[in-house]
Amino acid sequence: MTSRIDPIDAGGGQHFNAYVSLPDQPNGHAVLVVQEIFGVTPHIREVADRYARDGYLAIAPDLFWRVEPGLSLSHSKEDMQRAFAVLEKFDEDLGVQDLGATLAHARAQPGISGVGLVGMCLGGKLAYLAAARLPVDASIAFYGVGIEKKLDEAGDLKQPLLMYFGGKDRYAPPAVRARIEAATAGNPRVEVRVYEEADHGFYTRGAAEVIASAHAEAKAFFAQHLPTTVGAKS
C-alpha cells in the first residue's frame, strides 16, 4: 500500500487536494472517505488506508479547501473551537459539489467499476446528501450530525445508504434517530443500524472490536451494492 496526493478539478480553473491510498491488490472499486470537522486528519487517512488494505482505491478529499486548505486538527479544546469556527464558514452544498468532482476523478482512474462513499460526523451528513444528489453507487454514513435537518431530501434517496449511529451519541440522541428512521422507513435502499454501547466517533476512535465489526459490515454492504464487473478502462 502506498499513498499520494491528487489534485481534484473543481471547475473554473480551481483545484483542491485529496489524500489517495493505493491498494497493493486492487479490487476494482474506489471509496471516497469523507472527513469530520477536523479536516483530513491522521484518523481520516487511517480510514482511507484501512480500505486500501482491503483492495479499494481510497480517496479522502480536502473539503475545507475554500476555508482553510490542508486543515488537520486534534481533539484538544482549542482545536475543537477552531474546527467549529471553520465549520461555520463551510458551505455544505459546495461540499457535495466537491464530492461530485471527487467521484468523477475516482471513476476516471484505471480499472474502477464502482465507487462507494463513507463519511463520519460531518462526512456522515454529506454521505446522506450524496446518496440523494450524486450518482454514487452506495454510501455509508457514520454518526452523521444534522441529517435530521435535511429530511426534506429523504424522498430523493435513490442510491443504497447505510446509516450507523452510536446509542450513547449525544449528537444524535434517540429522538433524532427516530425522526431519521421514520423519514426513511419506506425506502428499501436505506438501512439504519445502532451500536447501542458506542459513542460518537466510534469508527475512528472507538473500541477495536466495535471498529472491526462496523468495518466488516461496511465491506459487506459495499460488496452487495458496488458493481461486480470491471469496466474496459486501461
In a domain, 61, yes or no: yes
| Per-residue pLDDT tens digits for 152-210 | 999 999 999 999 999 999 999 999 999 999 999 999 999 999 999 999 999 999 999 99
In a domain, 137, yes or no: yes
Residue 219: per-residue pLDDT: 96
Give the confidence band of 220 by pLDDT, cuts at 50, 70, 90: very high
For the question of residue 200 being annotated catalytic, the response is yes
User: The cell 483492495 sits on which residue?
Assistant: 55
Q: Are the C-beta atoms of residues 79 and 52 closer than 8 Å to each other?
A: no
In a domain, 231, yes or no: no
Domain count, the chain: 1
Give the confidence band of 217 by pLDDT, cuts at 50, 70, 90: very high
In a domain, 205, yes or no: yes
| Per-residue pLDDT tens digits for 7-18 | 999 999 999 999
Residue 228: per-residue pLDDT: 77
Q: What is the total residue count of the chain?
A: 234
In a domain, 168, yes or no: yes
Q: Are the C-beta atoms of residues 64 and 71 closer than 8 Å to each other?
A: yes
Residue 54: per-residue pLDDT: 97
Residue 1: per-residue pLDDT: 86
Catalytic-role residue among 29, 43, 200, 225: 200
Mean pLDDT of 218-224: 97
Range of the structural domain that residue 68 is part of: 2-225
Catalytic-role residue among 105, 121, 137, 225: 121
In a domain, 230, yes or no: no
Strand boundaries in 25-178, DSSP class E: 29-34, 57-61, 114-120, 138-142, 161-166
In a domain, 63, yes or no: yes
CA distance 91 to 97: 10
Grid cell of 20 as nine digits? 489517495
For the question of residue 121 being annotated catalytic, the response is yes
Query: CATH code at 179?
Result: 3.40.50.1820
Q: Is 9 left (phi over 0), alpha (psi -120 to 50) or beta?
A: beta
Catalytic-role residue among 169, 199, 215, 225: 169
Q: What is the largest CA-CA distance in the chain?
A: 50
Minimal CA–CA distance to 64: which of 100, 104, 91? 91
pTM: 0.95
Sequence-distant (≥ 6) Cβ neighbours of residue 20 within 8 angstroms: 3, 4, 5, 6, 48, 57, 58, 59, 60
In a domain, 157, yes or no: yes
